[in-house]
Amino acid sequence: MKFLLKKDEMFSFMLPEFLVERRGDRCIKCRVCERQCGFGVHSYDEMSNTMRADEMKCVGCQRCAVMCPTKALIIRPHPSDYRPNANWTREKIQDLKKQAESGGVILTGSGCDKPYRIYWDHIVLNAAQVTNPAIDPLREPMELRTFLGRKHDKLEFAFDGGEIELVTELYPNVQIETPILFSAMSYGAISYNAFKSLAMAASEYGTLFNTGEGGLPKELRKFGKNAVVQCASGRFGVDPEYLNVAAVVEIKIGQGAKPGIGGHLPGEKVTKPISVTRMIPEGTDALSPAPQHDIYSIEDLSTLIYALKEATNYEKPVSVKIAAVHNVAAIASGIARAGADIIAIDGIRGGTGAAPKIIRDNVGIPIELAIASVDERLRREGIRNKVSLIAAGGIRNSADVVKAIALGADAIYIGTPALIAMGCTLCQKCHTGICNWGICTQDPQLSKRLNPEIASKRLVNLLKAWSNEIKEMLGAMGINAIESLRGNREMLRGVGLQEWELEVLGIKGAGE
């Protein structure tokens, strides 16, 4: 705790964000909390034999509360508050004070936490009653297998006696066992162990993880057939082998948490192993420019799409990931015409390892509206089969997955849910490089808290649980394949939505 100020040093006017309550009757002074906190909240005072807490440092990640053997700790939002004011919330006042003290752009981590309408919670699903039978997924086959990539308008077959032969040469497609993929989270943004856990889980369950733009460490290239490898504006870690070991190559144009903003891995996070994978010297900032400097138009995008197809001998689907923004449907149409096989669209609630808070909380549109309008536009133009659509940003449970697919997605990306499965508590401090759960950090002491064997099991459990729930919901609707749900908006009804919202979503109101 700070009592003395240097000359010209400002006294901070900030309030603590969290209250650290230590119940004396339970605390045995074992100092576990002290060792567990990478932010240095807890300390032990030998003179008085007491545990102390510096609340100003607490981020509310709950690591100490979970690890405390006697459950002596309660961490909750600090009750001290300013005079209630609907306009000037505590957060707004605190942010402003922080800027007055530093002059900086406020950085944050994870997804937008502002109360924009969550459309998932205003959409209900249908179920079969009397006029069509429901299906019991426990006893009947249910198909969640999904193929990502461009599909033909028509297939040609040759009939030779009893033999039927497919004449059409299929476009490269990737098979996944459930329509859930792990979103792009780079090694650098997340720890090696977290990255490896995602790779292991994707490989075990038969789905894909996404390397982000931090490269793929050599020893993890064996997971390549379950990898989406990114080629982003910084081109970090991109070499011909990296592209060729992958299942899918993804061009990252934008990210839901920070549309129009580049990436910035601060130099202190570029440790030796990170520098090896990104192929940059230790300690340098890894700057990913906001635009890709060879892409200033749809034509330029097309150039890079085909450069990547050339570099991978036309064997892999090429995906283009964009943030959901105002003209997303027109942009997606352009991307499909530019030759992409997959379009991934990331909504405003998509997570991040670091983004300016003002951008995260104010730029972009919700994924529900974006995916619905893109699907509708591509259908109207007769090119929906040219691309697979992946919805990302703000999916929280299996019902959201089902709703996203019924709105037109082929599959969905999960980032935040995967992190939560591994231990994340959404404290939003990813950008600091300190993560007490060993996920979003490069500190070897902290990252070894995450055991890839166990964390990957948690991830596989999550995929299994969601997949089973999806089968239950499909069965209830009387559908036995995810294919029949895709873009099937008849299965959705809106509750408490305005007319324009129903129109964009392309669904009826409940009762209609």
Partner 1 sequence: MKFYDLFLDFSRKLDELIPRIRVQGDLAEIDAKDLTHKEINDLIRYAVFEHNCNKIRLLNVVGQRYIGTRIFSRNPRKISVEIFGYPGNDLGAFLAGHKIVVHGNAQDGVGNTMDDGEIIVHGRAGDVVAMSMRGGRIMIRDDVGYRTAIHMKEYKEKVPVLIVGGTSQDFLGEYMAGGRVILLGLYSAKHRGRYIGTGMHGGIIYVRGKLEPWQVGREVGILELSSEDFKFLEKHVGDFCKEFGFNADEILGDKFVKLLPVSKRPYGKVYVY
Binding residues vs partner 1 (CB under 8 A): 98-99, 102-107, 231, 233-235, 238-241, 243-244, 264, 266-267, 275-276, 279-281, 283-287, 289, 293-294, 302-303, 306-308, 310-311, 313-314, 336-337, 339, 356, 381-383, 386, 429, 431-432
Give first-to-last CA distance, the chain, whole Å: 61
Q: How far is the CB of 253 from partner 1 (least distance, A)?
A: 16
Q: How far is the CB of 236 from partner 1 (least distance, A)?
A: 8
Are 109 and 429 in contact, with CB atoms under 8 Å apart? yes
Q: Using CA atoms, how far apart are residues 412 and 148, in angstroms rounded to an integer?
A: 11
Q: How far is the CB of 381 from partner 1 (least distance, A)?
A: 7
Which CB, 211 or 432, lies closer to partner 1? 432
Neighbouring-strand partners of residue 345: 322, 391
What sign results for the dihedral spanned by CA atoms 209, 215, 220, 222? positive
What sign results for the dihedral spanned by CA atoms 7, 8, 9, 14? positive
Q: How far is the CB of 312 from partner 1 (least distance, A)?
A: 8
Which CB, 233 or 398, lies closer to partner 1? 233
Q: What is the DSSP letter of 183?
A: P
- Residue 275 φ then ψ, to 5°: -65, -35
Are 5 and 67 in contact, with CB atoms under 8 Å apart? no
Q: Helix, strand, or coil here: 154?
A: coil
Which CB, 338 or 502, lies closer to partner 1? 338
Angle 508-511-512 (CA atoms, 0-180°, nearest 5)? 45
Which CB, 243 or 407, lies closer to partner 1? 243
Q: Using CA atoms, how far apart are residues 60 and 62, in angstroms rounded to an integer?
A: 5
Q: How far is the CB of 226 from partner 1 (least distance, A)?
A: 20
* Cα→Cα distances 422→27, 92, 415, 503, Å: 27, 31, 11, 38
Which CB, 248 or 402, lies closer to partner 1? 248
Bridge-based pairing of strands 411-414 and 355-356 is unpaired
Which CB, 37 or 392, lies closer to partner 1? 37
Q: How far is the CB of 488 from partner 1 (least distance, A)?
A: 24
Q: How far is the CB of 298 from partner 1 (least distance, A)?
A: 11
Which CB, 286 or 331, lies closer to partner 1? 286
Q: How far is the CB of 295 from partner 1 (least distance, A)?
A: 10
Which CB, 263 or 347, lies closer to partner 1? 263
* Cα→Cα distances 385→147, 251, 342, 345, 484, Å: 12, 20, 10, 16, 15
Neighbours of 102 (CB within 10 A): 11
Q: How far is the CB of 16 from partner 1 (least distance, A)?
A: 15
Bridge-based pairing of strands 342-346 and 388-392 is parallel
Q: How far is the CB of 94 from partner 1 (least distance, A)?
A: 12
Which CB, 260 or 509, lies closer to partner 1? 260
Q: How far is the CB of 282 from partner 1 (least distance, A)?
A: 10
What sign results for the dihedral spanned by CA atoms 369, 371, 377, 380? negative
Which CB, 30 or 298, lies closer to partner 1? 298
Which CB, 213 or 410, lies closer to partner 1? 213
Q: Using CA atoms, how far apart are residues 189 and 195, in angstroms rounded to an integer?
A: 9
Q: Which residues contact 182 (CB under 8 A, 6 or more apart)?
A: 198, 201, 202, 207, 208, 209, 210, 413, 414, 415, 418, 459
